[in-house]
Amino acid sequence: MIGLVLVTHGRLADELVAALEHVVGPQPSVGAVCIGPEDDMEQRRNDILASVARCDDLPMLIKLASVRHTEPLADAVASAQEAGRKYINVASKLLTQDRK
């Protein structure tokens, strides 16, 4: 099962999931964690870990965790994409393909 966890400031993650589900229907493997200015960061960290446990794509997560401190963001995304190649697309790459 493929999963996605959106983590944002404010309520953006909830609203993005709501918009997604409005268009394509319920998404049981999509989680949202919203971080408010007064939130307990340890609790939010636990929320993120719980969401990942519900929505994980283990090969991609292992790869991303293994390179997150040693590679620039773009390279880390490419590494994660390679690990989950069958199931993940990077939106910015898809959008720029139309312009070429």
Mean of per-residue pLDDT scores for the chain: 78
Cα-flanking dihedrals φ and ψ of residue 18, to 5°?
Answer: -60, -40
Judge if pTM exceeds 0.75. Answer: no
Domain residue spans in the chain?
1-56, 57-100
Question: Which residues are paired to 35 by β-bridges?
Answer: 9
Question: What pLDDT does residue 62 have?
Answer: 61
**Better-predicted residue by pLDDT, 14 or 69:** 14
pLDDT tens-digit series, residues 36-48: 999 999 899 888 8
Question: What pLDDT does residue 23 have?
Answer: 92
Confidence of residue 10 (pLDDT cuts 50, 70, 90): very high
CA distance 16 to 18: 5
pLDDT of residue 59 exceeding 90, the answer is: no
The CATH architecture to which 1-56 belongs is: 3-Layer(aba) Sandwich (3.40)
